[in-house]
Amino acid sequence: MTTESVFTYGAPALKFGSGASNEIGFDLSQYDVKRALVITDPGVAATGHPQRVAEQLGRFGIEAEVFADVHVEPTDASMEAAIAFARANGPWDAFVAVGGGSSIDTAKAVNLLVTNTGELMDYINAPVGRARPPAKPLLPLVAVPTTTGTGAESTTICVLDVLAQKVKTGISHARLRPTLAVVDPDLTLTQPAGVTAAAGMDILCHALESYTSRSFDSVPPRRPEQRVPYCGANPISDMWSERAMSLLAQAFRRAVHHGDDARARHDMALAATFAGMGFGNAGVHLPHANAYPIAGRVRDFHPQGYPDSEPLVPHGMAVSLTAPQAFAWTFDAAPERHLRAAELLSPGHSHEGREALPRVLAELMRDIGIPNGLSEVGYDESDVDDLVEGAMKQQRLLDTAPKPVAADDVADILRGSLQIW
């Protein structure tokens, strides 16, 4: 049988390094921007970083306004509020997102709905939404991550909770990718240990899921219009994922336990960037599909380091909680890749068999304070059916898994993840 012979690769322009965020005014001035909206959340706004960016823009003749009401772990309601603000106070020539994945993803949705007609649900992935592609180009978007993890500065997706359906889903289209990613490790030095741990597990799972996704050439040939941003594992995404895992092996534990270690923060930011460049093209699969209902159906869990105003399972934490079981399940599809990943994450040790990578992950999660399974964030056996239903709605992600995924497979993974060690 003839198979696909083409893979695609895309990434934003990148500016990386200590002090990179001091140059955003100059960067946007190159796009002939006269008026820009800076989008952030209240916690990041309190650090002064977004206002400093707005002042920089002013020095280059760019009128800037700050919207600081992004919801941590955005919902359809919070994104609609940001979109309404932008539509009411425009026109804008560009957007600048300063914050974690929540701010960057909200900015992507704002950019989409300011430049295109319709409502948010028109563009949300099926079967939750109508999956309409944007008809018009988007405006320049500069993404300035202040947490190391989401990779949102590199990707073509934005993620949100749809409250009425109690599910986390997203919007996916190549036009959502930011124009420029400005990654300044200095902005992450005050990131709390709990946030560093959860966000770092997001980096790790981005790299692992990309690396173990189905190969780009494992499907029938596609026409150009049929190709999606997540094309499966390919030589370029593999390179970025391997390098991200090597950096995490050196820096992850140190960044959690010694947050003022500038080198560790630098390496975590670089790992996040590399992993984003990998999964932003290859894709993610089971741990992320499971994470959406885990986060979306939270009842009363309050993680350390995050706002305490409402229950929350942070995205990276939600992803990590089923990762050991998920990679035990995918092992048969590519044993050599799973063992190579274990060696990259835990060099110098012997790694053999299906349990090698899950064991490496569990040891790391225990060391950095990730909860011991779904039971510690409020779920039990009675929740499995609802979580399976939510995960099976993430077909865009499950299609990237290295072997077909059935509801019974997801149920077994979830049950095995109620307690990890």
Is the separation of the CB atoms in 127 and 393 below 8 Å? Answer: yes
Over residues 308-321, the pLDDT tens digits come to 888 999 999 999 99
Is the separation of the CB atoms in 270 and 247 below 8 Å? Answer: yes
Predicted confidence (pLDDT) at residue 166 exceeds the cutoff of 90:
no
pLDDT above 70 coverage of the chain, percent: 100
Predicted confidence (pLDDT) at residue 1 exceeds the cutoff of 80:
no
What contacts 206, CB < 8 A, 6 or more positions away?
151, 241, 244, 275, 276, 278, 279, 284
Q: Find the mean pLDDT for residues 186-193.
A: 91
Q: What pLDDT is recorded for position 309?
A: 87
Over residues 247-264, the pLDDT tens digits come to 999 999 999 999 999 999
Over residues 373-389, the pLDDT tens digits come to 999 999 999 999 999 99
- Tokens standing for 24? 């955003």
Predicted confidence (pLDDT) at residue 291 exceeds the cutoff of 90:
yes
Q: What pLDDT is recorded for position 228?
A: 82
CB atoms within 10 A of CB 308: 10
Model confidence at 304, pLDDT cuts 50, 70, 90, reads: very high
Q: What pLDDT is recorded for position 127?
A: 86
Max CA separation in the chain (angstroms): 60
Q: Find the mean pLDDT for residues 129-147.
A: 96
Model confidence at 225, pLDDT cuts 50, 70, 90, reads: confident
The count of C-alpha atoms lying within 13 angstroms of the C-alpha of 29, restricted to the half-sphere facing its C-beta, is 13
Predicted confidence (pLDDT) at residue 81 exceeds the cutoff of 80:
yes
Q: What pLDDT is recorded for position 280?
A: 85
Model confidence at 151, pLDDT cuts 50, 70, 90, reads: confident
User: Domains of the chain (ranges plus CATH)?
Assistant: 20-183 (3.40.50.1970), 193-416 (1.20.1090.10)
CB atoms within 10 A of CB 178: 28
Three-state secondary structure call for residue 244: helix
- Tokens standing for 391? 């995960």
The amino acid that residue 325 corresponds to is Q
- Tokens standing for 131? 């999956």
Predicted confidence (pLDDT) at residue 243 exceeds the cutoff of 80:
yes
Q: What pLDDT is recorded for position 369?
A: 98
Predicted confidence (pLDDT) at residue 333 exceeds the cutoff of 90:
yes
Helix spans in 181-221 (H) = 193-212
Residue 345: burial class (beta carbons within 10 Å; 0-12, 13-18, 19+): buried
Is the separation of the CB atoms in 203 and 275 below 8 Å? Answer: yes
Model confidence at 409, pLDDT cuts 50, 70, 90, reads: very high
**pTM score:** 0.91
